Chain A
């Protein structure tokens, strides 16, 4: 029996409030193998760690039990402490008596009993722990950024500036994201394109950045330091190298029926198109669904007119596989569909707009060249009503329970932009609450009210009734209780922000998780906001939750710093808790190979010599660099030939036995 020391943490009152520490210490000291027990308020603190280190040396401890929070939180901390005291770090075992015990129980007596049982299980397992030695693996020093909005752009630039290669994958034909669509930006009202387009050009021209636009992730394999990603470059039908961006093709294309995605459907575009004039790359793409050549075989005008001979109807999707050390997900967000909000007449009336359509409508480069007019009759509106929280803070099935965070600010911005150009237009904003925390944000919103005279009404709109060329907005002013009828010419809906529809699918490819609203989940909401639970994969921007540009850029910089930190290490220590095959027991059924999610198991031919007769048989073989230690194979193996180091079948059984004791 090895010499075991146990360390019981109070975690302030987090554990000690619900678990009787004294009783636990008493019970643990009587467990077999235990030669030393110590409790302390914060075992993870420097003082606490020193207690562990000193005890290892003074008591010649061969195993260490830490009864504290989840191993996710501090297993590493204590492994390091053990290592510093000369003990193999894998001889440390954590009993989670916080998340699995004190936090989920109220009754002190029962929680104390459970804590003791959890420690008993850890002691049983630890007795069977063996020394494990981590190996070193190489790090591929190139990063991948998925999504080319401001988040992806900033991340890529920061990584590239540090001297590493970066590939950016953008699904649409151009980088830029939503920020390229926005007119002016709060809180300073500088023009969005003026601050974004230089960055887009920097991305395109940076020697360390490689752009894959009109491309998507096909599959992801591998692990931190060694991801293997297959990228699908969709057929653009235009040769990226040959095209000079002259624009003749887009001008002359006879098909004009497709709605411009960039202009939110407020304008049509050709079947061959560049989403917007400042697109990067400035190379058009053919929308094959609407192209006459692809549908009828006739036309081909673009091909005839192109002076560079860049049109290639025969292009096909191309798959490229590359290796990366780190991945940053920056796929952004969308605003919700308003199909379920019939009361606002969005489907029925052209003068009811989404906030994003409004951005296009006021944009100097937009469908009306910045002229502020009603889509229905091209006349300037006299009264405009903004409605906030359309689908935000809405717990019914048609909305989102969260606050979309950006709408209070962009609505104030949009209202002010109208008043600035046309002081005679009356502007109303219906709101539930005004939420404008942020540097200079509240001042910004107050300016809308105090300087520009925007009418803020605390209350909701029940319904909008189109009448003649007016939109009668029926709402309530909840301060006075009055019901209001406003004869508006235009209504702008601040539709809730939501996760991308394909976020979950992408998350599955990357093996990172999404929350209940399909936004990607960070590893820790406070302390690890740009990391995911999968090592080497980071998050930036609105794909993690609604955010404005300042926050997005800050997060992008943080993600880049993490990537640079990772890539700057030439080697990584691998996790030694990997599967091993007992070749004598393996019968070569390869069930393990089939269920392994990391492709870490292969078949190996084994030559055996039996009294001079050589025969061959198949056994499973684990690639330790790929194995992530999930343990799936150990369950699938019928003869029990495969086992997981650090979590052997024997160890688990010992734990269970101790729990049921």
Chain B
């Protein structure tokens, strides 16, 4: 099946591994991801100001492009997914935003939030299916204790993101199980890593430390994430500590498919 694919800036710079493994795995799984032409930075942060549309335009361009091709839009970076999915919800249900954005963009056809945005994980769960994925695993990660780290961006606000139960999610654990590893649920798996506060706030370090300690407490060896910023924060806090490793979910996927 053919999908429009939106990578985002971080995947081309700091988080190249996240993308690289995703793309080669997709090939093996028979998923055709066509990178969108002329995609622009998603804005990185979903703009909360209700009367400001500038920060939403780039997401709408990508959404409208995917929709005009009749394809679902696949994202990979948690932050991009968050922004694009929320902007899409605005375009669907917020008359004020929809009107102003369409007036400004003057697209060949008005865009009204019709496109379907899927995160790569949702693609695996809903379109491929974890049981089908498990059948394709060539090198099962048997015996490895892996803790999923969700972060906030994929899960919340849950009524817009519709990704999983925000308080008790299971998609990443199901993914880990499909790869043959042992999924460990640790208490802080859905807590915030500190996000951008990391730049100048001591609080953020504490938040990341809580997550790491909670995972180590249950003998987790690898913490799995889908978010470049989460990975950065957790690794920064981890420093030289080698008890646990922070990995992108796509890296383990490639490993299990024996193409790493």
Please tell me if A205 contacts chain B, counting CB pairs below 8 Å.
no
Among A342, A397, A465, A467, point to the contact of B167 (Cβ < 8 A): A342
Q: Nearest-CB distance from A4 to chain B (Å)?
A: 53
What CA separation (Å) do A397 and B165 show in the bound complex? 12
Residue in A closest to B168 when the chains form the complex, CB atoms = A342
Picked from A347, A397, A465, A472, the residue with its CB within 8 Å of the CB of B168 is A347
Instruction: Determine which of A340, A341, A465, A468 lies in contact with B188 in the assembled complex, contact meaning CB atoms within 8 Å.
Output: A465
- List A residues 338-359 near B (Cβ within 8 Å): 340-343, 345, 347-348
Question: Which chain A residues (455-509) contact chain B, with CB distance < 8 Å?
Answer: 463, 465-468, 472
Number of interface residues of A (CB under 8 A): 14
B61 contacts the other chain (CB 8 A): no
Within the assembled complex, what's the spacing in Å between the Cα atoms of A194 and B164?
A: 47
**B165 lies within 8 A of A465 (CB):** no
Please encode chain B, from 195 to 220, with 1 for each CB lying within 8 Å of some chain A CB and 0 for all others.
00000000000000000001001000
Known A465-B214, A467-B214, A467-B217: A341·B187 in contact at CB below 8 Å: no
Q: How far is the CB of B185 from chain A (nearest CB, A)?
A: 7
Q: Which residues of chain A are near B168, meaning CB under 8 Å?
A: 342-343, 347-348
CA–CA, A179 to B9, complex, Å? 62
CB distance from A476 to the nearest CB of B (A): 16
Closest to A347 in B: B168
Cα A340 to Cα B217 in complex, Å, equals: 26
A339–chain B nearest beta-carbon distance, Å: 8
Nearest chain B residue, comparing its CB with the CB of A349: B187
Pair B167/A348 contact, Cβ less than 8 Å: no
Residue of A340, A463, A466, A472 touching B165 (CB-CB under 8 A): A340
How many Å from the CB of A386 to the closest CB on chain B? 20
Selected from B159, B166, B169, B187, the residue in CB contact (under 8 A) with A465 is B187
Complex contact A342–B214 (CB within 8 A): no
Name the B residues within 8 Å of A343 (CB-CB). Answer: 167-168
A348 to B214, CA, bound (A): 15
Bound Cα distance A472, B187 (Å) = 10
Q: Which residues of A contact B217 (CB under 8 A)?
A: 467-468
Most buried by A among B166, B167, B185: B167
Q: Which residues of B contact A463 (CB under 8 A)?
A: 191
- Residues of chain B within 8 A (CB-CB) of A397 are 159
Residue A467 contacts which of B165, B166, B187 (CB distance < 8 angstroms)?
Answer: B187
Q: What's the minimum C-beta distance from B149 to chain A, rounded to whole angstroms?
A: 15
| Closest residue on chain A to residue B187 by CB atoms | A465
Q: Which residues of B136-179 have CB atoms within 8 Å of chain A's CB atoms?
A: 159, 165-169
A341 and B214 contact, CB distance less than 8 A = no
Q: Mark A435-466, 1 if CB is under 8 A from B, else 0.
A: 00000000000000000000000000001011
In the complex, what residues of A have CB within 8 A of residue B159's CB? 397
Closest-CB distance, B27 to chain A (whole angstroms) = 36
With a cutoff of 8 Å between Cβ atoms, the chain B residues found around residue A340 in the complex are: 165, 167
- A contact residues around B187 at 8 Å (CB): 345, 465-467, 472
Q: A342 — which chain B residues lie within 8 A by C-beta?
A: 165-169
Contact flags A313-348 to B (C-beta < 8 A → 1, else 0): 000000000000000000000000000111101011
Q: How far does the alpha carbon of A466 sit from the alpha carbon of B187 in the complex, in Å?
A: 6
| Chain B window 2-19, contacts with chain A (Cβ cutoff 8 Å), 1 for yes, 0 for no | 000000000000000000
A399–chain B nearest beta-carbon distance, Å? 13
Residues of A close to B169: CB separation below 8 A: 342
Bound form: Cα–Cα A639–B167 in Å: 62
- The CA-CA distance from A467 to B165 in the complex, in Å, is 22
- Distance in angstroms from A376 CB to nearest chain B CB is 15
Per the bound structure, the CA–CA distance linking A144 and B159 in Å amounts to 45
A468–B169 CA distance with the chains assembled, in angstroms: 22
On whether A341 and B185 interact (CB within 8 A), knowing A465-B214, A467-B214, A467-B217, the answer reads: no
Given the known A-B contacts A465-B214, A467-B214, A467-B217, are A348 and B165 also in contact in the complex, defined by CB atoms under 8 Å? no
Complex interface: chain A residues within 8 A of B166 (CB):
342
Could you say which of B185, B188, B191 contacts A348, with CB atoms under 8 Å apart? B185
* Contact pattern, B 217-238, Cβ under 8 Å of A = 1, otherwise 0: 1000000000000000000000
- Given the complex of chains A and B, what is the CA–CA distance between A465 and B214 in angstroms? 9
CB distance from B151 to the nearest CB of A (A): 15
> In the bound complex, how far is the Cα of B187 from the Cα of A345, in angstroms?
9
Closest partner residue, chain A, to B167 (CB atom): A342
CB distance from B208 to the nearest CB of A (A): 15
B165, B169, B187: which has the most chain A beta carbons within 10 Å?
Answer: B187
- A347 to B: closest C-beta gap in Å: 7
How far is it, in angstroms, between the C-alpha of A463 and the C-alpha of B185 when the chains are bound?
Answer: 15
In the assembled complex, the Cα of A468 lies from the Cα of B186 at a distance in Å of 11
Give Cα A467–Cα B187 distance, bound, in whole angstroms. Answer: 8
Chain B residues closer than 8 Å to A465, beta-carbon distance: 187-188, 214
* A343 to B188 CA separation, bound complex (whole angstroms): 11
Q: Name the distance in Å between B212's Cβ and chain A's nearest Cβ.
A: 14
9 A–B contact pairs at CB < 8 A?
A342-B165, A342-B169, A348-B168, A348-B185, A397-B159, A465-B188, A465-B214, A466-B187, A467-B187
- Known A342-B167, A345-B187; 4 more pairs at CB < 8 Å: A465-B188, A466-B187, A467-B187, A468-B217
Sorted nearest first, the 7 A-B pairs with minimum C-beta distance are A342-B168, A342-B167, A465-B187, A343-B167, A466-B187, A342-B165, A467-B187
